[in-house]
A and B are shown apart, each in its own frame.
Chain A
Amino acid sequence: MASTIRVRAIASGDVVDFKALLRHPMDSGFVKDSDGKIIPPHYIEIVTVKMGEKTVFTANWGPAVSKDPYLEFKFKGAKKGDAVAVSWIDNKGESDSTTAKIM
């Protein structure tokens, strides 16, 4: 299955600009389907970004984060060619991970 995580991490000077686009319905539990039944909440709860053993960012999300969530943050201490590991887990316990090279 193709990864649900697309990463674009670019080093500029000593700062890495990390951008990711995740594929996830982020159902809030407030929306009804065409039969009038509530679509149950299904959303990413935690996104973790690591460089080796070090966590460089953690996002705690709720159902109000938009569908197919976008995330951007910036960090120091890495350079072009280094690898970042990104993973998420949702409220149903589903998860996905990927690694990407800093460009």
Chain B
Amino acid sequence: MINYDRRSLLKQMLGGSVALVAVSGGFLALPAWAAPTESEWPKEAFSKKKMDEAIETLYGQKPTESDKISLDVPTIAQNGAVVPVTVESTLEKVTSIALFVAKNPFALTASFDIPDGTMPFVSNRLKMAETSDVSALVMADGKLYSTSKNVKVTVGGCGG
């Protein structure tokens, strides 16, 4: 027969409930503004299959090629499900960066808002369905620029 020491059991319960209050207090204290809202997500741009339509929907401009954008991607991606992509730019007043994979079912993969004080740099990992050009679009001082690189994909990233 297990003999619970009543005092230590009460102590444990008390300690447990104090911890629970502290944790829930922490959740309660998390300010509402910390959670993003879905209304700003560029739904239409993400639903376009073709890259030029997605760019037009997202930015309302056609890009000009720029050598001031460095796009770092592997030449050959062994795993199309996880392709590292890094973009950096020396353009001034960058407000947005977006990544497109032309041959994906939907060309737009991700877009990033770059506020004042944030560097024009982003690193991410994308899925690529097959060998394709990867494009980085950069909005700088109200004008849209781009650069592209071809990435060979040996095993497609869409899992099919």
Contacts and interface: CB of A to CB of B under 8 A. Distances in A.
Contact of B124 (A32, A65, A67): A65
Interface in B93-126: 101, 104-106, 108-115, 117-119, 121-126
A74 B86 CA distance: 12
B132 to A, nearest CB: 11
Interface in A42-72: 45-48, 50, 53-67, 69-72
A87 interface: yes
Contacts of B115: 54-57
Given A58-B112, A58-B113, A65-B125, A53 B33 contact: yes
B37 A89 contact: yes
B124 A62 contact: no
Interface residues of B, number: 43
B138 to A, nearest CB: 14
A38 to B, nearest CB: 10
B74 interface: no
Contacts of A53: 33
Mostly, the A contact residues are strand
A62 B160 contact: no
B60 interface: no
10 contacts: A31-B158, A31-B159, A32-B160, A48-B34, A50-B34, A54-B115, A59-B122, A64-B104, A71-B124, A73-B119
Given A85-B34, A95-B35, 18 more contacts: A15-B119, A31-B160, A32-B160, A60-B42, A60-B111, A62-B46, A64-B110, A64-B127, A66-B125, A67-B82, A70-B84, A73-B118, A73-B121, A73-B122, A73-B123, A89-B35, A97-B30, A97-B34
Interface of A: 15, 28, 30-32, 45-48, 50, 53-67, 69-77, 85, 87-89, 93, 95, 97
Interface of B: 30, 33-38, 40-42, 46, 81-84, 86, 101, 104-106, 108-115, 117-119, 121-128, 157-160
